[in-house]
């Protein structure tokens, strides 16, 4: 498998970037042949909230 030279970071998906905007960014990355997406179960959590996994839900 070939890995793209750049990746899409998703740390702000769900927290700063809305689900709609995140989907548009993902579409753009796929069109640019990006095939590495950085995500974690703690991404997207509000600063004072405790709902981990929002980024994964958006990507799912």
Mean pLDDT in residue range 27-49: 83
11: confidence class by pLDDT, cuts 50, 70, 90: confident
For 43, other C-beta atoms within 10 Å of its C-beta total: 21
- Is the dihedral angle over the CA atoms 38, 59, 55, 20 positive or is it negative? positive
The pTM for the full model equals 0.77
23: confidence class by pLDDT, cuts 50, 70, 90: very high
- The answer to whether 58 and 44 have CB atoms below 8 angstroms apart is yes
- Is the dihedral angle over the CA atoms 17, 4, 36, 58 positive or is it negative? positive
Kindly tell me if the per-residue pLDDT of 47 is higher than 70.
Answer: no
45: confidence class by pLDDT, cuts 50, 70, 90: low
Kindly tell me if the per-residue pLDDT of 52 is higher than 80.
Answer: no
Q: Give kind and range of the element (H or E) at residue 56.
A: helix 54-59
SS3 45: coil
């Amino acid at each position: 498998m070939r890995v793209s030279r750049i990746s899409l970071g998703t740390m702000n998906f769900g927290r700063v970037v809305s689900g709609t905007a995140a989907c548009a960014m993902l579409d753009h990355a796929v069109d640019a042949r990006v095939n590495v997406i950085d995500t974690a179960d703690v991404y997207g959590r509000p600063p004072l909230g405790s709902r981990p996994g929002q980024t994964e839900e958006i990507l799912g």
